[in-house]
Amino acid sequence: MSTVIPQDASALSANGSVAAWTERYTGAVMDTFGPPQRVLVRGEGAYVWDADGKRYLDLLGGIAVNSLGHAHPTLTAAISAQLGTLGHVSNFFGTPAQIALAETLLRAAEAPDGSRVFLTNSGTEAVEAAFKMTRRVASSSGVGTRTRVLALEGAFHGRTMGALALTAKPAYREPFEPLPGGVEHLPFGDLAALDAAFSPQAIAERGEVAALVVEPVQGEAGVRSLPPGYLAAARRLTTTHGALLVLDEVQTGMGRCGSWFAYQQPEIGGGIVPDVVTVAKGLGGGFPVGAVIAYGAAANLLGRGQHGSTFGGNPVAAAAALTTIGVIERDGLLANVREVGALLRQEIEMCGSPLVKEVRGRGLLLAIVLHEPVAPQVARAALEAGFIVNAVAPDAIRLAPPLILTAEQAMDAARFFATLAVEPVPPVVEPVETPSDQSEEDDA
């Protein structure tokens, strides 16, 4: 039998051009994402380099993941140290890193006594666990459990079957139906519709509501914030009806919006305490890890044997997350997110390009809204110019850079957007969304 590793795996990044690697990618990697825009071989701080040696300012941060940028020395040292000490144990055992991470998340969440954490490996797994929790909410008669779960139009909660049932986009859902049932998608930010979902008539027809699942800022829908007061009203309704309020902070959490969790900002959350929060993406600074935080009584919804994961709580992932949180705190990165985020927003808004309509979002989760539906072309032009951004909607560019982004780097980005004119951007020549959806708007 021939050897399965034809070359020294540690020397991979030294071999091959972007073109050669791209060809190999298409021959070996399942075609769910389309061909890679570039093949990247290394990173440092807010920059990455491709296989041809070209440098890019990473304004997307692996889609809101690389909180500390690339190859952060404190993070790499902590991961290596944990791996060199104890790399994995089964969940028959605990580890200091796992326990300390759960405690740290509870502190960051200011969660009340009795709150608990379940650790996962990704965002969709965190949502999947939260979905299972909703199935354990007792009916008010005490007989049986509730199965109605409310989510919002435009929602993105992940790609596994439960998370997909909560995700709204038909192109993602339809090829995989039937999905887990009981999910209703309500118009985005519409309080009257939310009220109606809890009305006596709706309850008589469709049953009691187990939970409302929402993103405080919808990331994949184009960085759309819920209207002020929505979450507070949602909290009042869910509390009155004994339903869970589940906040999906996979994209908005862990400092991305300038606070540990977006809902903690009074203008977003209005001072609420949720029942469940999901996080992932930026939590491990690039190392795969996620978490479900269950506040108070919600911590008891999943009992022994009702959920599990081989890798969830892995000590290396937990050490990565603990270190990421530690560096964010040590280096004052929440303040940096607020300051550099405000600068980036202001400089792009004032950059003078006739293509730029407005900038929306919070902290370092921003969308540049364009006057024309040419976001994919703008993203390609940005890449050519050495900036990684994402066309999150036909008319919107998403920025989710590392939380370490400096003011100078923000100014560099703004200078690029200033060069965008309406005319030189070629017209849209391809559909931006197809059922198999290979468009640049896709990511997760």
The one segment of 154-162, 225-233, 356-364, 365-373 that binds ligand PLP by CB under 6 A: 154-162
| C-alpha distances in Å from residue 45, one per residue of 12, 72, 75, 288 | 21, 7, 12, 19
Residue 67 as a binder of ligand PLP (CB under 6 A): the answer is: no
Query: Whose structure tokens read 């060199």?
Result: 84
The Cα 221–Cα 395 span in angstroms is 11
Residue 127 as a binder of ligand PLP (CB under 6 A): the answer is: yes
Report the nearest approach of ligand PLP to the CB of residue 271 (Å). 22
Residue 128 as a binder of ligand PLP (CB under 6 A): the answer is: no
Q: Which is nearer to ligand PLP, 122 or 264 (CB)?
A: 122
Residue 130 as a binder of ligand PLP (CB under 6 A): the answer is: no
Report the nearest approach of ligand PLP to the CB of residue 406 (Å). 25
Residue 251 as a binder of ligand PLP (CB under 6 A): the answer is: yes
Residue nearest to ligand PLP (CB): 123
Q: Is 271 helix (H, G, I), strand (E, B) or coil?
A: coil
Question: Based on the number of CB atoms within 10 Å of its own CB, is 77 exposed (0-12), middle (13-18) or buried (19 or more)?
Answer: exposed
Residue 219 as a binder of ligand PLP (CB under 6 A): the answer is: yes
Q: Which is nearer to ligand PLP, 282 or 315 (CB)?
A: 282
The one segment of 122-130, 236-244, 328-336, 338-346 that binds ligand PLP by CB under 6 A: 122-130
Residue 442 as a binder of ligand PLP (CB under 6 A): the answer is: no
Residue 172 as a binder of ligand PLP (CB under 6 A): the answer is: no
Q: Is 360 helix (H, G, I), strand (E, B) or coil?
A: strand
Report the nearest approach of ligand PLP to the CB of residue 371 (Å). 26
Q: Which strands, in side-by-side order, build the sheet including 40-44?
A: 40-44, 47-50, 55-58, 387-388
Q: Which is nearer to ligand PLP, 248 or 395 (CB)?
A: 248
**DSSP designation for 281:** G
The Cα 61–Cα 67 span in angstroms is 7
- Helix, strand, coil tally for the chain in percent (to 5): 35, 20, 45
The Cα 255–Cα 307 span in angstroms is 28
Residue 98 as a binder of ligand PLP (CB under 6 A): the answer is: no
Residue 119 as a binder of ligand PLP (CB under 6 A): the answer is: no
Residue 123 as a binder of ligand PLP (CB under 6 A): the answer is: yes
The two three-digit tokens of residue 311, written as one number = 């890798």
Q: Which strands, in side-by-side order, build the sheet including 396-399?
A: 356-362, 365-370, 396-399, 390-393
Q: Which of 131, 156, 172, 261 binds ligand PLP (CB under 6 A)?
A: 156
Give the x-and-dash track for 266-305 against ligand PLP (CB under 6 A): --------------x-------------------------
Q: Which is nearer to ligand PLP, 95 or 252 (CB)?
A: 252
Q: Which is nearer to ligand PLP, 45 or 312 (CB)?
A: 312
Q: Which is nearer to ligand PLP, 157 or 235 (CB)?
A: 157
Q: Which is nearer to ligand PLP, 298 or 444 (CB)?
A: 444
Q: Which of 210, 250, 333, 388 binds ligand PLP (CB under 6 A)?
A: 250
Residue 220 as a binder of ligand PLP (CB under 6 A): the answer is: yes
Give the x-and-dash track for 345-364 against ligand PLP (CB under 6 A): --------------------
Report the nearest approach of ligand PLP to the CB of residue 126 (Å). 7
Pairs from 98-104 (Cβ < 8 Å, separation ≥ 24): 98/313, 98/314, 98/315, 98/318, 100/318, 100/322, 101/291, 101/318, 101/321, 101/322, 102/291, 104/322, 104/325
Beta strands in 178-238 (DSSP E): 183-186, 209-214, 217-218, 224-225
Residue 122 as a binder of ligand PLP (CB under 6 A): the answer is: yes
Q: How is 396-421 classified by DSSP, letter by letter? A: EEEE---TT--HHHHHHHHHHHHT--
The Cα 146–Cα 137 span in angstroms is 6
The two three-digit tokens of residue 81, written as one number = 């140290």
Q: In the complex, which residues of this chain contact ligand PLP (CB under 6 A)?
A: 122-124, 127, 156-158, 215, 219-220, 248, 250-251, 280, 444
